[in-house]
Chain A
């Protein structure tokens, strides 16, 4: 019989949760083995080219791929972490023996504690012909284009308007792929409004209360038939329409990958708000089996920031239990992590997560600040269309027109409450504020704002603009964020669009900030006829 290797901590899964868990434990002297089934670390972070929301403390405003680079660097430098790549965990048995397959060899391990950070898998959707080549999960599209630089198609129909559907649509456009439309069965957009708005500005239609009926094609996708849904989610007669596309991307949710947990007979329960069957666990991420912890999407579908904090809590909890020193300090850090999670989940978009967690018996007795759990503005029109209403805009624009006379000022077009603060943190003049709560909507103090344009590149949602109404007698200048190719040149004439992606006018590029500080989100100043200063919100450079 082959020998069994003893381990202090085995972390399964090298995504954001697993990496954070390994680091948190290893930093307190725990010997960690980190098993990842792929030949590289990173999980899904490896495809996330967009900037993250959240608080500055947890890398908000940094692109997912850059967060990953930092985590991997730290893991590789840490002498307490042994990384096992191309190592698939195949089994975990009642005596806690774990079998790992590597290079066609099966090895046995006996870890004192385990953290499962196995992530999630994508949900599927039933419709006619849904097995045709060219129908992808959203993650597959991201893998092909962002990891391997391969175009998945030329014209994609996106199904689902959650954050993944919106973000992947935007990334498709960045890769030079057309997005025919985004189809959403619910009457409102599922993801953050800022993501929806930036797609609308680029001319992508978002069809709420619509669904896909069938895929067209013999050997691969050639189109799709979609239709409208009524309030009861039934098809509205005679609303079928044919959409031409060469790929259909499904982004209809994720479900936790709990297979290994079930094998070990960890207690699980179905919680729809958390994506399906999730393990029962306590606030330290420990499951019904002692010394068996979970972190990240396997414990309930959320996002990468929460996954990293959960990983830290799980790692620290292991360190507290089997480590020898620093118990007080570790306890303090666990508390900090819990507070941070609470903050992340305290806004209106965290409602679903809070409801799901309460079904697991978690967060009982914790009173979330109800002032922040409802939206501050009526954003129903915005969430249906991706375009802010006149009312929404009025709320964020200067109350007096003469404010525009003082010079360039920043306009924040962020109308939804969610935990995010890079605009606030980036302003050197303290002109942007969230009134002491990261979940609040940022407001600009036009007295303090100098119109410098730093926030334009720093906002992860591309929702900051600078407007200089009286640039000349007849023209205004709008500074807009730009993350596409080709880059504009000074003096070039570009096409300018409004918030719905409708062509407004031609504009002249007068300044481009595109250095290291902007980190590929250029801040481009465009001179336009004065009458469009409140409408011009996007531009395209002709190839």
Chain B
């Protein structure tokens, strides 16, 4: 959900752009991060923990915690909370259904 009116701030959102989340087409804005765009679209779960498959989402939003890692345009472990969204980007959840053998 996006904030439309704010008592202190005005949000000058960039151009509307399309991107893909696990193959599904979503709308975001130029100038925002992948993480913010996903959240605005109601996507909270970004990946799963490798072993126990617990859901993972954004925690720190400044690139320090590794909780929001996703595969972006084929590159794994991208910090989606600080990576700017680009037109046509393919964003995929990580480690979902992947079994780790010990």
Residues of A within 8 A of B (CB): 37-39, 49, 63, 65, 121-122, 131-137, 139-140, 143-152, 154, 174-176, 218-220, 483-485, 520
Interface positions, chain B 10-53, Cβ under 8 Å from A, are 11, 13, 32-33, 36, 39-40, 44-46, 49
Find out whether the CB atom of A131 lies under 8 angstroms from the CB atom of B40.
Answer: no
Closest to A146 in B: B9
10 A-B pairs besides A175-B6, A483-B7 with CB distance below 8 A are A49-B8, A136-B58, A139-B61, A140-B59, A140-B61, A144-B58, A148-B33, A149-B6, A174-B7, A220-B44
Find out whether the CB atom of B59 lies under 8 angstroms from the CB atom of A135.
Answer: yes
- Across-interface contacts of A143 in B (CB, < 8 A): 36, 61-62, 81
How many angstroms between the C-alpha atoms of A38 and B63 in the bound complex?
9
State which of A65, A151, A484 has its C-beta within 8 Å of the C-beta of B1: A151
Known: A133-B45, A133-B46. A149 touches B3 (CB 8 A): yes
- Across-interface contacts of A484 in B (CB, < 8 A): 7
How many angstroms between the C-alpha atoms of A45 and B87 in the bound complex?
28
How many angstroms between the C-alpha atoms of A258 and B56 in the bound complex?
27
- Across-interface contacts of A174 in B (CB, < 8 A): 6-8
Find out whether the CB atom of B39 lies under 8 angstroms from the CB atom of A139.
Answer: no
Known: A150-B2, A150-B39, A220-B55. A137 touches B60 (CB 8 A): yes
- Across-interface contacts of B54 in A (CB, < 8 A): 131-132
- Across-interface contacts of B46 in A (CB, < 8 A): 133
Find out whether the CB atom of B7 lies under 8 angstroms from the CB atom of A485.
Answer: yes
State which of A122, A220, A483 has its C-beta within 8 Å of the C-beta of B57: A220
How many angstroms between the C-alpha atoms of A484 and B63 in the bound complex?
31
Give chain B's interface residue range (CB within 8 Å of chain A).
Answer: 35 or more
- Across-interface contacts of B60 in A (CB, < 8 A): 121-122, 136-137, 139-140
- Measured CB to CB, the closest approach of chain B to A281, in angstroms, equals 23
- Measured CB to CB, the closest approach of chain A to B8, in angstroms, equals 5
**A-side interface mostly:** loop
- Across-interface contacts of A150 in B (CB, < 8 A): 1-3, 32, 36, 39-40
Residues of B within 8 A of A (CB): 1-3, 5-9, 11, 13, 32-33, 36, 39-40, 44-46, 49, 54-65, 67, 81-82, 84
- Give me the 10 closest cross-chain CB pairs, A-B, nearest first: A133-B57, A140-B61, A149-B11, A148-B36, A143-B61, A151-B1, A133-B44, A49-B8, A150-B40, A149-B3
How many angstroms between the C-alpha atoms of A130 and B39 in the bound complex?
19
- Measured CB to CB, the closest approach of chain B to A366, in angstroms, equals 35
Q: 16 A-B residue contacts at CB 8 Å? A: A49-B9, A121-B60, A122-B60, A133-B56, A134-B44, A140-B62, A143-B61, A148-B36, A149-B9, A150-B2, A150-B36, A150-B40, A151-B40, A175-B6, A484-B7, A520-B7
- For the A-B complex, the count of residue pairs with Cβ-Cβ distances under 8 Å equals 102
- Measured CB to CB, the closest approach of chain A to B82, in angstroms, equals 7
Known: A137-B60, A152-B39. A485 touches B3 (CB 8 A): no
- Across-interface contacts of A65 in B (CB, < 8 A): 9
How many angstroms between the C-alpha atoms of A38 and B84 in the bound complex?
10
- Across-interface contacts of B44 in A (CB, < 8 A): 133-134, 219-220
How many angstroms between the C-alpha atoms of A485 and B45 in the bound complex?
31
- Across-interface contacts of A520 in B (CB, < 8 A): 7-8
Closest to B39 in A: A150
How many angstroms between the C-alpha atoms of A63 and B32 in the bound complex?
23
Find out whether the CB atom of B57 lies under 8 angstroms from the CB atom of A134.
Answer: yes
Find out whether the CB atom of A175 lies under 8 angstroms from the CB atom of B3.
Answer: yes
How many angstroms between the C-alpha atoms of A220 and B55 in the bound complex?
8
How many angstroms between the C-alpha atoms of A154 and B1 in the bound complex?
9
Closest to B47 in A: A133
State which of B5, B32, B49 has its C-beta within 8 Å of the C-beta of A131: B49
- Across-interface contacts of B81 in A (CB, < 8 A): 140, 143
- Measured CB to CB, the closest approach of chain B to A277, in angstroms, equals 16
How many angstroms between the C-alpha atoms of A330 and B75 in the bound complex?
50
- Across-interface contacts of B65 in A (CB, < 8 A): 137
Closest to B3 in A: A149
Give the most central of B54, B57, B82: most A CB within 10 Å: B57
Closest to B43 in A: A133
- Across-interface contacts of A144 in B (CB, < 8 A): 36, 39, 58, 61
